Amino acid sequence: MRERVHRGGVIEVICGPMFSGKTEELIRRVRRAQIARQTVVVLKPYLDTRFDENHLVSHSAQKAPSVRVRTSEDVLELGRNADVVGIDEVQFLDSGIVEVIETLANLGKRVIVAGLDMDFRGQPFEPVPQLLARAEYITKTLAICVVCGQPASRSQRVTREGERIVVGSTDHYEARCRACYQAPEETVVSDVASGGLHQQ
């Protein structure tokens, strides 16, 4: 049965390559909601143990308390009692997250998600494209190309792993513009590797 749509619910998507400030922007928005005395829950995938298991942490050292979740159902359960639901690294949750986010928005929640819109191959990174189609508000962030200094929209893997998800930050990835990005050689790519995450 479809949830009845309540007034006030919206989906906001913050997307872009690694190192483009997605997490920082998510933290900024949830902090403003807290200042407005709204009930906020901030979630991240259970795999994300980088820096701090109980906080979102950006490259600029901005932090916000967060809860790690394993499945989209966890997101639904934890989000039902909040006014604002923030989700980082949404591309690492299961495909059910799209319907869960729709449900929360229909219940009147403000759902703010951040994630990579393309993988290291330059291909759309589900479920972010699905969420972009459903969102009321979209923010595309850009990084700085490490080669030429121009705005960067792609995440260049500088190591040779073929898996789609590989843990790493600047040790595995660089931000690159369209001209400086080099597509990887054809490899057999699995969606799930050794619990890896990207850091923006």
Residues at the annotated binding site?
A: 16-23, 88-91, 145, 148, 165-168, 173, 177, 180
Q: Is 99 an annotated catalytic residue?
A: no
Question: 24, 89, 161, 174: which one is catalytic?
Answer: 89
Q: Is 74 exposed, middle or buried (0-12, 13-18, 19+ CB in 10 A)?
A: middle
- Binding residue positions for ATP: 16-23, 88-91
Contact at 8 Å (CB) between 116 and 200?
Answer: yes
Q: How far apart are the C-alpha atoms of 3 and 190, rounded to whole Å? A: 34
In angstroms, the Cα distances linking 9 to 79, 84, 102 are: 12, 9, 9
Report CA torsion sign: 148, 149, 153, 159. positive
Q: What angle do CA 3, 77, 130 make, to 5 degrees?
A: 60
Contact at 8 Å (CB) between 20 and 155?
Answer: no
Instruction: Please list the active-site residues.
Output: 89
